[in-house]
A and B are shown apart, each in its own frame.
Chain A
Amino acid sequence: MTDIGFVRSHLEESRPAPHRTSGPLAWMQKNLFASPLDTGLTILGLLFLLWVVPPLFNFFIGHAVFPGGTVEDCRALNAGACWAYIYSEIEFFIYGFYDIDQLWRPNLVFLLGALLLIPLAIPKAPYKGLNAVLFLVVYPIVSYYLLAGGVFGLRVITTEKWGGLLVTLILSVIGITLSFPLGVILALGRQSQMPVIKTLCVAFIELIRAVPLITILFMASIMLPLFMPQGTTVDKFLRALVGVTLFTSAYMAEVVRGGLQAIPRGQYEAAAALGLNYWQRMFFIILPQALKHVIPGIVNSAIALFKDTSLVYIVGMKDLLEAVKTKNDSALEWQSSNTSTTGYIFAAMVFWAFCFGMSRYSIFMERRLNTGHKR
């Protein structure tokens, strides 16, 4: 018979975990050559890289024609990317047909935007409230008058002349900053107990989501003027901006609604039981939690909007992509087999840089806002 009684005589001290194997060799063994299959896949992968990387390298760097090169270099038999073309036309890509002697104005707008946005994005930077007001209220007004002119002796430059990255950035920054609060309000409206508000929000969201952005832009540019009284014109740029913003806000609304639904009922009830009114409940308790849940979705919509701005070519505006395309087709002096490819690659790289930036920032914010409270 075994004795099942047991009394621990001393408590086990906690001690460090056993030595893990470390160093590059151990890492490689674990990640690259753990099994015959892994080894095979690793070798296949290396061969693939060997096959793909050298030609890419040659195209982008090795045989590429850098600024300072001439169009003859670009036309050479083995030539790679024609960066010289990008360099020589960069002003058109960034500003479109904006008056060359007035480029300091958009440059100042870019600079102010960066100076205001960067501290706003850094959690530790002080004066968040003032910063937000400057960026969200003062900056758009200042930027508009700087770009459009007409005051303080600034020459008037109509939006027809704006183009390139300038247009892409203005559309996306304004579109994102407006569609986000609009989307939140639509999401709250859709959850409202009040039937009229709820119906309006549902109708708006479902209508906009059911229609492609191209259609909305078409409507805005071609059909809207037909409904307007004779003689009134709404700026083309403004129409595109409104179209893009409304379109994205419908998507934002559904993303935010997903977040709202993830909040347990107890949170609503606890907030109500403390006597907080509807807006206080939403603003202090529900939205901070709900929005945190859906940061990936919100950024998804923001990135989609950023890329969708290239559709404004429909209404005859030259955003970055359209500016590149225009130049590709018209710059006879730069004609070579790689010119337009290089142009599109440049546009892709710019789009990618901005989208990747947004994506990384959202991941950073997710980590930062995680207060470790899994319910």
Chain B
Amino acid sequence: MSQVMQTAEERRIDTSNMKVSDTDVAIEVIGMHKWYGDFHVLRDINLKVMQGERIVIAGPSGSGKSTLIRCINRLEEHQEGQIIVNGTELTADLKRIDEVRREVGMVFQHFNLFPHLTILQNLTLAPIWVRGIPKKDAEATAMHYLERVKIPEQANKFPGQLSGGQQQRVAIARSLCMQPKIMLFDEPTSALDPEMVKEVLEVMISLAEEGMTMICVTHEMGFARQVANRVIFMDQGQIIEQNEPEEFFSNPQHERTKLFLSQILH
């Protein structure tokens, strides 16, 4: 977290493009429940995310935060309630699932780059085969995003030759190459060495500055304070409390939230 504080000192966030829409809904979750076998992991989740919102989901491990965002692109199936992404409701219909996944990018804790493909191939595979973009154009887009995450010189290497921070930046670029409307981050910095957390957060901050709709599961409270316009606290599969970061950190209401914050902010 100390790195994030440094970031805050080094640069100010440019908020000119960070506009939250009043009318356009990006994601709507209504009365959603999920079970793993008999275990009730998610209970009565209601969440409305407007376009341009930057949401941080926090909570103890096992609280269901990852499961929640994995439901949003149907990596996990929910059993009750509704999830509507960009106006498409997620059901068992494979067509709809693919439709949603095309517009929703996801970054994983363990990067999940494809180890048998070069960085460039990792970035161009989906645009070429899912979007039908010609290889040349896909490669140009890929190089553009590699430059944005500041590692264009690694384009022809394999993921195994990159550091963790570099791999995660490639993973973000890979998602961006699909030109998603929404980005989901599932603990993107948790598997990184402390020295590499900052370079990944930098990229995420710059994404936020461009007005990307983002949902981030993260323990980086500095990032939440700086970038999020809403912090959601989850415990035992439920949303316990949500608020603007300022209020959330300085004036938590629920006992569980207070306890959690006292544990992680020392």
Contact = CB atoms under 8 A, between A and B. Distances in A.
Nearest to B110: A266
A284 B128 CA distance: 12
Contacts of B102: 275
Contact count band on A: 20 to 34
Interface stretch (B137-145, B157-165, B206-214): B157-165
Nearest to B99: A275
B105 A276 contact: no
A189 B158 CA distance: 31
Interface string B183-200: 000000000000000000
Nearest to A284: B125
12 contacts: A264-B112, A266-B108, A269-B112, A270-B114, A272-B75, A273-B105, A273-B175, A274-B126, A277-B130, A289-B115, A372-B158, A374-B160
Nearest to A372: B160
Interface secondary structure of A, over-half rule: helix
Contacts of A274: 101, 125-126, 130, 174-175, 178
Contact of B108 (A270, A276, A277, A292): A270
A371 interface: yes
Contacts of B105: 273
B114 A285 contact: yes
B75 A267 contact: no
Contacts of B73: 272-273
Which among B75, B94, B171 has the highest number of chain A CB atoms within 10 Å?
Answer: B75
Which among A266, A271, A274 has the highest number of chain B CB atoms within 10 Å?
Answer: A274
A45 interface: no
B116 interface: yes
Contacts, number: 75
A246 B204 CA distance: 52
Given A270-B108, A280-B129, A373 B178 contact: no
A276 B126 CA distance: 7
A273 B125 CA distance: 13
Contacts of A373: 115-116, 158-161
A258 B171 CA distance: 27
Interface in A248-280: 264, 266-267, 269-277, 280
A300 B161 CA distance: 31
A280 B114 CA distance: 13
A264 B57 CA distance: 26
Nearest to A285: B114
A375 interface: yes
B18 interface: no
A270 B158 contact: no
B125 A277 contact: no
Interface in B121-163: 125-126, 129-130, 158-161
Contacts of A285: 114
Contacts of B161: 372-373
Contacts of A272: 73, 75, 101
Contacts of B75: 269, 272-273
B106 interface: yes
B98 interface: yes
A329 to B, nearest CB: 52
B26 interface: no
Contacts of A292: 116
Contacts of A280: 129-130
A181 interface: no
